[in-house]
C-alpha cells in the first residue's frame, strides 16, 4: 500500500474543486482520509484541506496524483523537482510532467520559480532563464525536463470575482438564456479588460460563419474602433471576408440579398487568386485592391493576425501559415497579455486556441450549436463561458454596444 498527502487550498468548495478531487480518488478505487480541513467561515475566506491518499501500487498513485494536480492539488513535501535532460529532439523523457494551464511554480535548488506562461499538455523545461512550458515538438536535446509531480505546485482554479456578472447563467451552456443581458455583460468584460492595469488584450478567434451570417461589417467596426487587439482565424474566414468585400458575396451568396443560386461559386477562388497576385493581404490593401472588411481593418489599424492553415483550404491565401506546428507557434507568440478571448463561431481554431490559453483568461465561446459550445467551454480555460446564440445577431449587438462609446 502506498500513501501520499496532497494539499488543496483556496476557494475549493464554491469552485467545486474539493468534490471533484474526492470523486477522482474514488473512481481510481483509492482511499482518502481528510487529515485536516479548515473551511472558510464566510465566502471571503479561503479553505484548506490536507488529504491522505492510499492506493495499492505506486503506478496508480502516480496517475492519481497527476490527475488531482490538474485540479490544483499539490503534493505535500519540500523536495525539489526532479529534472532529466532530453535526449532526442522532440521526444520527452519517460515520466515527464505534463503541464496544466493553471499558474504553476516549480522548486529548483530550494527556490520556487514561476512558470512564465502556463500552457497545458506541455513539458516543463527549467534552465537558467527560468521555467517554461514547452510543447513536445520544441524540446531540444539537453533541455532539462521535469519528471514526476514532486516539486511542482499549481494554484487551484478559482472563479473570477467579476464573472459573478454571469452567475444568472448557472454555468451550463443552454440557448434559453436572456440574450440581450448576455451581450451587455460580455461588452462590460471587454471594456474591463481594456481598463485594467496593465490593460488586457482582447483576442477574437473567428470562423467563416461570422461572414456568412452577415456580421463581417460588425466585427470590422469593432476592429476599427480598437476593441480587438489580435485576431486568429483560418483561410476560410479571411477568404470569405475578402470575397464579400471584393465581390459582394460570401461563399457565392450575395451579402446584400439581391440574387441567389450558387452564384459566384468560384468567387472565393477569384478573391484568393487576386490576393496571391499581390503577394499578401497587406499588399492588396496597400494597392487599393481590398478596401473594406475585417482583414482590411486589421491591416489598416495594425491589428496582428494569425491565419492557421487547414487541410480543407482552397488556395490558400498567401498569409496563411500552412505548417500547422508553425501556425500554433505563431499563435502562442500573441497570447501573453490576452485578458479576454472571444471564440466566434469557430471550432477548429477555437479549440486550438483553447489548448494554448492560460486558465486565467476569460473566454467566451459563441456558437449556435450547443454541442460545439459545450465542447469548447469544457476545454481550455476554467474561465470559459459558453453562449449558445446566433453569432450574426450577437456581433451586431456587441458592436452597437461597444462602438457607441
Contacts (CB under 8 A) with a copy of itself, residues 118-177: 121, 135-137, 164-165, 167-170, 172, 174-177
Side-chain half-sphere exposure of 17, counting CA atoms within 13 A: 29
Calpha distance 122→124 (Å, rounded): 7
* Site for a copy of itself contains 25 (CB under 8 A): yes
Please identify which residue in 142, 178, 199, 304 interacts with a copy of itself, judged by CB under 8 A: 178
How buried is residue 68: exposed, middle or buried, by Cβ count under 10 Å (0-12/13-18/19+)? buried
Contact between 188 and a copy of itself by CB under 8 A: the answer reads no
Give the range of 74-82, 148-156, 288-296, 394-402 binding a copy of itself by CB under 8 A: 394-402
d(CA 295, CA 305): 9
Interface residue with a copy of itself among 79, 324, 333, 336 (CB under 8 A) is 324
**SS3 label, residue 212:** helix
Shortest Cβ 135–a copy of itself spacing (Å): 8
Q: Does 19 bind a copy of itself (CB under 8 A)?
A: yes
Interface with a copy of itself in residues 283-312 (CB under 8 A): 308-312
Residue 134's alpha-carbon distances to 83, 112, 120, in angstroms, are 14, 18, 9
Binding of a copy of itself by 55 (CB under 8 A): no
The position carrying cell 516549480 is 106
* 258 belongs to the binding site for a copy of itself (CB under 8 A): yes
Minimum distance of a copy of itself from residue 243's CB (angstroms): 13
Nearer to a copy of itself, 43 or 111 (CB): 43
212 part of the interface to a copy of itself, by CB under 8 A: yes
**In this structure, what is the dihedral angle of CA atoms 313, 319, 321, 326, given to the nearest 10 degrees?**
-160
SS3 of residue 124 by DSSP: strand
Cα 350 to Cα 30, 197, 254, 386: the distances in Å are: 36, 27, 27, 12
Of the pair 26, 196, the CB lying nearest a copy of itself is at: 26
Check residue 313 for interaction with a copy of itself (CB under 8 A).
yes
Q: From CA 241, how far away is CA 261, in angstroms rounded?
A: 20
| Positions 56 through 115 that interact with a copy of itself (CB under 8 A) | 63, 66-67, 70, 88, 90-92, 96, 98
Q: Residue 132 Cβ, how far from a copy of itself at the closest point, in Å? A: 17
Amino acid at each position: 500500500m502506498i500513501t501520499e498527502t496532497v494539499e488543496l487550498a483556496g476557494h475549493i468548495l464554491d469552485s467545486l474543486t474539493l468534490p471533484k478531487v474526492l470523486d477522482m480518488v474514488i473512481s481510481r478505487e483509492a482511499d482518502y482520509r481528510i487529515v485536516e480541513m479548515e473551511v472558510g467561515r464566510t465566502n471571503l475566506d479561503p479553505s484548506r484541506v490536507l488529504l491522505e491518499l492510499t492506493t495499492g501500487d505506486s503506478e496508480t498513485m502516480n496517475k492519481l496524483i497527476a490527475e488531482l494536480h490538474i485540479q490544483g492539488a499539490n503534493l505535500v513535501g519540500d523536495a525539489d523537482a526532479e529534472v532529466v535532460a532530453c535526449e532526442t529532439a522532440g521526444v520527452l523523457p519517460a515520466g515527464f510532467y505534463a503541464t496544466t494551464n493553471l499558474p504553476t511554480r516549480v522548486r529548483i535548488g530550494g527556490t520556487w520559480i514561476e512558470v512564465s506562461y502556463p500552457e497545458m499538455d506541455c513539458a516543463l523545461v527549467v534552465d537558467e532563464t527560468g521555467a517554461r512550458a514547452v510543447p513536445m515538438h520544441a524540446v531540444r536535446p539537453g533541455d532539462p525536463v521535469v519528471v514526476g509531480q514532486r516539486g511542482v505546485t499549481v494554484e487551484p482554479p478559482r472563479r473570477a470575482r467579476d464573472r459573478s456578472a454571469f452567475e444568472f447563467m448557472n454555468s451550463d451552456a443552454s440557448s434559453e438564456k436572456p440574450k440581450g443581458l448576455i451581450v451587455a455583460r460580455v461588452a462590460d468584460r471587454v471594456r474591463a479588460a481594456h481598463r485594467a492595469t496593465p490593460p488586457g488584450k482582447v483576442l477574437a478567434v473567428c470562423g467563416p460563419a461570422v461572414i456568412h451570417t452577415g456580421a463581417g461589417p460588425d466585427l470590422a467596426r469593432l476592429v476599427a474602433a480598437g476593441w480587438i487587439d489580435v485576431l486568429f482565424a483560418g483561410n476560410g474566414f479571411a477568404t470569405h471576408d475578402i470575397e464579400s468585400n471584393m465581390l459582394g458575396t460570401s461563399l457565392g451568396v450575395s451579402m446584400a440579398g439581391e440574387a441567389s443560386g450558387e452564384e459566384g461559386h468560384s468567387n472565393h477562388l477569384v478573391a484568393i487568386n487576386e490576393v496571391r497576385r499581390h503577394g499578401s493581404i497587406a499588399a492588396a490593401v496597400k494597392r487599393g485592391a481590398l478596401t473594406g472588411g475585417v482583414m482590411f481593418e486589421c491591416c489598416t489599424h495594425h491589428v496582428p493576425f494569425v491565419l492557421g492553415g487547414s487541410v480543407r483550404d482552397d488556395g490558400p491565401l498567401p498569409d496563411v501559415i500552412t505548417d500547422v506546428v508553425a501556425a500554433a507557434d505563431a499563435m502562442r507568440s500573441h497570447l501573453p497579455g490576452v485578458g479576454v478571448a472571444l471564440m466566434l463561431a469557430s471550432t477548429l481554431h477555437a479549440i486550438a486556441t483553447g489548448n494554448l490559453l492560460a486558465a486565467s483568461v476569460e473566454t467566451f465561446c459563441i456558437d449556435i450549436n450547443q454541442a460545439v459550445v459545450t465542447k469548447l467551454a469544457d476545454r481550455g480555460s476554467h474561465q470559459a463561458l459558453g453562449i449558445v446564440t446566433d453569432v450574426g445577431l450577437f456581433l451586431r449587438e456587441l458592436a452597437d454596444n461597444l462602438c457607441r462609446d
